[in-house]
Amino acid sequence: TLVDSYHFKKNNGQEDILEKNLPTKQPNTRYKNSNYISNYYNLIDNRMKNYKRSIHKFENIIEKSNNNLIFQYNTIFEHDQETNLLDCQIENINKRPKYFLTLNNHDHAVYSIEHLLSALEALSIDNIEIQMENNSEIPIFDGSSMGWVNILQKNEVLPSISSSNLLVKDNYLKKARKFKFGSNRVLSLCDNDSFITYYPDKITRITVGLDYSLKSPIIGKQWYSYTVHQDDHYKWDIGSARMYIKSFDELYKAKDLGYFSNGIENCVNLPVFDRWVDDDQIRYLNSECARHEILDLIGALGLLNYNGNGGLPYGHIVAYKPNLELMVKFTKMLKENIII
């Protein structure tokens, strides 16, 4: 497989691409189309540039409105008739999500929260209040969580005085070490040919496999494994992977449900059997779809992040062709079997 690496330099507070080391290894023999191989090198140069241009569009997505909704993350609140508080816990997630996670309390709902939850968990943010205007759908930006990561990193992250994960020693505030949970036995959940399995371990690793060779050969068979605190930072390894739709039929169904309305143009990778509709927006040639499934799974596991404790467990989680519904069920199963 082809592996591309970038070098970055700081320029007036901005990160610019300085140069790119092209791989010396020959392309995989599965790509026998010479036109595809020749266009691949242009694809590498353009996909990160397109992302940098799209960053400037993020702030124009959320429109103003008179309808206010406050979204509470990992903090217990009682329902308030004036401010409409929603507690972000696994119990308040729609049990059968199709294309996005929905947070609701029977009176109000917030849609498409998985990318934001993934960014919050990756940045170890466990106490936050988000106010929403205009509608109840979280912006999906460019289809990845990089937009949220950039916005959150631009603001200083501070220890919360109200958090029980804060110690006071000699009149100084000190953030206590986070607890991370795990289990002492193997846990598995399956749905037809899809499954998610937890294996006890002393590190946090997530491995995802996909196989859509018959329906979408361009996606084909993908496997990707990400080890927290050992591999590259989430921002570059996982957070930049765009979401994908396996076919035009699923795209139309998702749009009928109102999905993608809060994203920029071309916010989803769309295959047409053995090619992509837009090759230039592909950021990882053989693994972007698997990486994005890891992104969604981190978002779902972030729902276990409570009272200053980490949401990602110690252990190795292996998922094959996972979907959001299976992720929610797996997260609930983990919550019933965790050991802190």
In this predicted structure, what is the pLDDT of residue 59? 38
In this predicted structure, what is the pLDDT of residue 174? 56
313 to 97, 119, 224: CA distances (angstroms): 23, 16, 18
In this predicted structure, what is the pLDDT of residue 111? 87
Q: Is the pTM of this model over 0.85?
A: no
In this predicted structure, what is the pLDDT of residue 256? 81
145-149 LR contacts (CB < 8 Å, sep 24+): 145/115, 145/116, 145/118, 145/119, 145/238, 145/239, 145/295, 145/299, 146/51, 146/235, 146/239, 146/240, 147/55, 147/58, 148/115, 148/116, 148/119, 148/120, 149/119, 149/122, 149/123, 149/234, 149/235, 149/239
Q: Which two tokens stand for residue 40?
A: 């691949």
In this predicted structure, what is the pLDDT of residue 140? 87
In this predicted structure, what is the pLDDT of residue 219? 95
In this predicted structure, what is the pLDDT of residue 79? 37
Does residue 304 contact residue 330 with C-beta atoms inside 8 Å?
no
In this predicted structure, what is the pLDDT of residue 247? 84
In this predicted structure, what is the pLDDT of residue 170? 56
User: Does the CA dihedral 306-163-149-133 come out positive or negative?
Assistant: positive
Does residue 144 contact residue 242 with C-beta atoms inside 8 Å?
yes
In this predicted structure, what is the pLDDT of residue 5? 39
DSSP SS3 for 257: coil
Nearest-angstrom CA–CA distance, 47 and 259: 23
Does residue 196 contact residue 330 with C-beta atoms inside 8 Å?
yes
Give me the tens of pLDDT residue by residue for the chain, a chain 340 residues long.
333 333 334 444 444 433 334 344 444 444 445 555 555 545 555 655 555 454 444 433 333 333 344 555 543 333 344 557 788 888 889 888 888 898 887 778 888 899 999 999 998 887 788 887 766 888 888 899 999 999 888 887 776 655 555 555 555 555 566 667 888 899 999 999 999 999 999 999 999 999 999 989 999 999 999 999 899 999 999 999 999 998 888 888 887 877 776 666 778 999 998 999 988 889 998 999 999 999 999 999 998 876 667 788 999 999 999 999 999 999 999 988 887 5
In this predicted structure, what is the pLDDT of residue 181? 84
